[in-house]
Chain A
Amino acid sequence: MEVPILKQGNYLIATIQAALSDAALLELRDELVERVGRFRARGVVLDVTVLDVMDSFTARTLRGIAHMTKLRGARTIIVGIQPEVAFAMTQLGMTLEGVETALDLDGGLAALRRRTKGGGNRGR
């Protein structure tokens, strides 16, 4: 597994560490969908800060992750899309429609806390 998945309270946090092959991205998808059930997770934050390219395959797979985890009862928030990447995605005509995004990890966790009651670490 190239992407570590951390469990924090009711949330899973997956942080991509380096450019991913298609196979590694699909492995991450399958792993997240499985772990949402295993840990009864309510939310997932997927950090893509390190990605310097988001091509149509990557965007389609991220959309798939968001939809599949939702069907399993967890909200996924994609965080860390870089400005250049956002620009290229728009030029390419790609949208992450129906997928929640936030600026960074903190923003993603804050959004999850607002939207799923009683998740994460309390009393911070």
Chain B
Amino acid sequence: MADEIRVAIDSEADIVVARQQGRTLAAELGFSSGDLTLIATAISEVARNIVVYAKRGEIVLSHANQGSRRGIVVVARDEGPGIPDIAQAMQDGYSTSHGLGLGLPGAKRLMDEFDIASQVGKGTTIVMKKWARRHG
């Protein structure tokens, strides 16, 4: 199992690659099939955010360990224009690109942890985590 998977996001076709890689890694980590879909959907949203606003960037997928908990970490990073008002961007229904405005707030709902840092003119980094539920 690779420790870290990096997917370059240069065009919308890479969105599909990123979410498929994420699904594969999450399956190896033992997530349920329902969780795999949530994770893949969240990756799709943040990857699309890169394509729409920054044109290019990367998605980095890795393991999360915290005590006995295991999970997946998804980092979405770009050097695009940045987000001037993060609170606004995290509001449901807010979009500057004629989308549904569900991308970032939606991704946050699908994952267990969601952190976003952005600087205008420098870029945006989103770190999301989801923990595998223990079975039995």
A binds B: yes
Binding site for B on A (CB under 8 A): 19-23, 52-57, 59-60, 82-85, 87-88, 91-94
The interface bits of chain B over 64-90 (1 if a CB of A lies within 8 angstroms of the residue's CB, else 0) are 000000000000000000000000000
* A54 contacts across to B, CB distance below 8 A: 41
Query: Known: A21-B13, A56-B100. Is A93-B37 also a contact (CB below 8 A)?
Result: no
* A55 contacts across to B, CB distance below 8 A: 41, 44-45, 48
30 contacting pairs across A/B (C-beta < 8 A): A19-B20, A21-B12, A21-B13, A21-B15, A22-B15, A52-B36, A53-B19, A53-B41, A54-B41, A56-B45, A56-B48, A56-B100, A57-B44, A57-B99, A84-B33, A84-B34, A84-B36, A84-B37, A85-B37, A88-B38, A88-B110, A91-B106, A91-B110, A92-B41, A92-B106, A92-B107, A92-B110, A93-B92, A94-B100, A94-B102
CA distance A71 to B102 in the complex (A): 26
* A52 contacts across to B, CB distance below 8 A: 23, 36-37, 40
* A19 contacts across to B, CB distance below 8 A: 16, 20
Count of residues in B whose CB is under 8 Å from the partner chain: 27
CA distance A87 to B13 in the complex (A): 25
Q: Which of A22, A82, A83 has the most CB of B within 10 A?
A: A22
Tell whether B109 is near chain A: CB-to-CB under 8 Å: yes
* A22 contacts across to B, CB distance below 8 A: 12, 15
CA distance A57 to B37 in the complex (A): 16
Contact check: which of A57, A60, A82, A91 meets B109 at CB < 8 Å? A91
Is the pair B48, A57 in contact by a Cβ cutoff of 8 Å? yes
CA distance A91 to B130 in the complex (A): 14
CA distance A65 to B110 in the complex (A): 26
CA distance A83 to B32 in the complex (A): 13
Q: Which of B20, B23, B40, B100 has the most CB of A within 10 A?
A: B100
CA distance A91 to B36 in the complex (A): 13
Q: Which of A20, A83, A84 has the most CB of B within 10 A?
A: A84
Is the pair B102, A93 in contact by a Cβ cutoff of 8 Å? yes
CA distance A83 to B19 in the complex (A): 18
CA distance A87 to B23 in the complex (A): 16
Tell whether B57 is near chain A: CB-to-CB under 8 Å: no
CA distance A64 to B20 in the complex (A): 25
Query: Known: A21-B13, A21-B16, A93-B109. Is A56-B103 also a contact (CB below 8 A)?
Result: yes
